[in-house]
Every structure is written in C-alpha cells, then in structure tokens.
Structure 1
Amino acid sequence: MIDQIIHFDQEIFFFVNKSLANGFFDWLMPILRNKYVWIPLYIFIIAFCTWKYRIKGLYIILFLSACVGFADFTSAKVLKPTFDRLRPCNDEWVKPQMIARVTCGSGKSFPSTHATDHFAIAVFLIGIFYRRWKPIMTIGIIWAASISFAQVYVGVHYPIDITVGALYGSLIGYIFARLFMKYIGFQEQKSNLN
C-alpha cells in the first residue's frame, strides 16, 4: 500500500515537473516560491492591521507571528526529522529523471514547510477577516496553493509533501484564528475593510 502511494506520488511529481513544463512556468514558479518576494505583502499586512485596527491590529500581528512560528518550527524541526524523506532533487533514483529549476538544498521533504507556513498564514487571515471581506478566502487559498504548487514544479517537493503541509498549516491557522477570535475578537460583527 505504502509503495503504491509513493509510486503514485512520484508519477504526479513527474507530471507537474516535466509534463507541465513551459517557459512561463519556468520563469514564474521560482519567483513564487522565493520567500523574499513576499516581504512587501507581509509589510502591507502589518501596516494595514496596525493602521486599521490599532491595538487589535497589533494582537492580530502577534497571533499571526505565533501561528507562523509554531507552523514553521513543528514542520521543519519536528515532522521533517521524524519522517526523514529525501527531497526529489536529492533522491538518486528521481534526480536524473527530473528537471531541477532551483538549488535543491539539504533539508528533508515531508512535509513541505513552505506549504505549511503559507497555508497557516492564509487560513489564519481568512479566519480573522472573512466576515469583513469575503474575497480573502479565494485570494488566500490561491496564493498559498500557487506557492505550494511551485515547490513541486521546481523539483524540491513531492505532491504529498505539499498536500500534508497544506492540511497541517491550515489546521494551525484555523486554531490560531479561533484563539484570536475567542480571546481578542472584534466588537463589531461586520465592517467594511475600505
């Protein structure tokens, strides 16, 4: 059973990494997964929350930071060493058959910390702001899923790595959003972000 799952995972990996290969994705996907590209977005989130919600905005940033810190630490330092799965770009059987689009790195593969962190951010913000701004759900999920997909396309993660990372990160984001809403929350039931 496990062998069949691993084989299926590798087949999907090769489909994304090789069969979907095109010049536009070759340019875009390494950019999407680059953590420095998203710094302006993070600065905007901090600035918006503190400007719009003042003290509560600082609590949002505090809870979001704790959420991402917990997601990142448990994914990278607890789960990855426990499962000890090689990245596809470090697997001697897979490596010769794949297209490497970025430097591989020495870290382990399962689960994807990129997927964990970005889905934790997305689901946390959805949990906080969905009642006030419905499009955040679509935007947040597409944003996190695009970054996760890019991890497979460039050759540093298998599809199961990002799927489990996305589910785990979503769970953490949901829990931290619920904690925020329970202990801090908003006075008003609904308001316009504009």
Structure 2
Amino acid sequence: MFDSIIQKDKELLIFLNNLGSEQWDSFWLLITNQFSWTPLFLFIFYLIFKTFGLKKGGFVIVSLIVLVTFSDQFVNLIKDSVERLRPNNDPEIQHLLRHLNNPQSFSFISGHATTSTFFSVFMILLLREKYKYIYLILLFPFVFAYSRLYLGVHYPIDISLGILMGVLLANGYYFLFQKVCNKLFV
C-alpha cells in the first residue's frame, strides 16, 4: 500500500510539473525565491509594530526569527532522517520532469511549505483580531509551495505534509508565545 501511495505521488508530480511552460518559468523561479517575498515580510513587520508597539513588536520580531530558525532546523532533521531523494534527483522519474534548478538536499518534508505555513498561520493567530483580511496571507504558503512542484524539486506529499507540519508548529508556537507574553507584558 505504501508503495502505491508513493507511486501515485510521483504520478501526480509528473502531471502537475508538466503543466508548466517556458513562458512561466521565470515567474515561478521568482516566486520560489524567499527574497522575492521581502515586501510581504516588511508589510507584516509594519503591522506587527503598528499593533503591538515598539517593545512588544520587537519581541514578536525576535520570536519570528526564532520561529523561522527552529522550523528550518526541524525540517532539516526530518529530511536527513528520512533521506527521500528529490524528484529532480530520482533516476526513476527525473527524465520525465521539467526542472529549472537542481537542489541536492533531500525532499521530505518541504522546508518552503513548512516554514511559510508556520509563519503565515502564526501571523494569522497574532493579528486576526485586529485585521480581518490577514487570512489572505495564506496565499503566500500555497503559491510558494506550489512553486516547488512546478520546479520539480518536491513531491505533493512533501508539500502537503510540510503544510500540515507548519500548521501544527504554528499553533504550538502560538500557545507558548502567549504564555511568555502574558508573563513579560502584563
């Protein structure tokens, strides 16, 4: 059964990846680059300082740095434990994919999907009472994660479980964050 799931995962990736075309390649290469999202991050930082002020806002920013660092290292631990080849390195399917870059690290789970979802859900939990449109930030992890399928560097399961992991981590981190904030900023 597990082999069947893995095979369907590969087939779905091949299908999704081959929907791409050269005219869109530069767009998706831009989307997958985390630095391309700098305006979004600056806007979020603005909302944080506007909502929480300088002192607590600074604490939130430091917490975000810890969040991203933890998420990245946690994902790397999983990748190095599971050791699933990236699709672009899988001899069984690499010739069937359009791939525009060739990362050599392992595939499971997607760091892009995990960290962007973790960040976005955490921001929603922090800012939802003040900004009703903050939920639009969920477009970020979905578009960011899809770029990894388009580029042929992750499987759909890597992306799906990365998103799930991001949601779980964000909720846990938010719970801890609230406890710390209640003690520091009474």
Q: TM-score, normalised by structure 1?
A: 0.87
Q: Distance in 1 between matches of 2:62 and 2:137?
A: 19
1:179 equivalent in alignment to 2:151: no
Structure 2 unmatched ranges of 5 or more: none
Partner in structure 2 of residue 70 of structure 1: 70
Q: State the partner residue of 2:108.
A: 110
1:150 paired with 2:147, answer yes
The within-5 A match list for 1:161-172 is: 161-172=158-169
Structure 1 Cα separation of the partners of residues 144 and 123 of structure 2:
17
Instruction: Judging by fraction of residues, say which structure has more helix.
Output: 2
Corresponding residue number in structure 2 for 1:192: none
**Structure 1: which 5+ residue stretches go unaligned?**
186-194
Match of 1:160 in 2: 157
RMSD over equivalenced CA pairs, Å: 1.6
Question: What is the DSSP-based 3-state SS (H/G/I as helix, E as strand, rest coil) of the residue aligned with 1:157?
Answer: coil
CA deviations on 1:11-51 (whole Å, 9 max, x unpaired) are 11011100x22355423211111122122332333344235
1:11 matched to 2:16? The reply is no
SS where residue 154 of structure 2 aligns?
coil
Question: Secondary structure, in 3 states, of the residue corresponding to 1:109?
Answer: coil
Segment drifting more, 89-98 vs 32-41? 32-41
Q: 1:6 to 1:150 in 2, by over 3 A?
A: same
Taking only the aligned residue pairs, the percentage that are identical comes to 31
1:52 deviates by: 4.3
- The number of residues matched between the two structures is 181
Displacement, 1:135?
Answer: 1.5
Q: Which position in structure 1 is the counterpart of 2:58?
A: 58
- Residue pairs, 1:74-89, within 5 angstroms: 74-76=74-76, 78-89=77-88
| Residues 51 and 131 (structure 1), Cα distance of their counterparts in 2 relative to 1, 3 Å cut | closer
Letter of the aligned partner of 1:184 in structure 2? C
Q: Secondary structure at the match of 1:184?
A: helix
In the superposition, the TM-score normalised over structure 2's length comes to 0.90
Measure how far apart 1:136 and its partner are: 1.2
Checking the alignment, whether the CA contact within 8 Å between 1:12 and 1:159 is kept in structure 2 is yes
Q: Which amino acid aligns with 2:158?
A: D
Moved over 4 A (4+): none
Q: Counterparts of 2:171 and 2:158 in 1: how far apart (Å)?
A: 20
Query: 1:146: Cα distance to partner?
Result: 0.6
CA contact (8 A) 1:29 1:153 kept: yes
Q: Is the 8 A contact 1:148 1:162 kept in 2?
A: yes
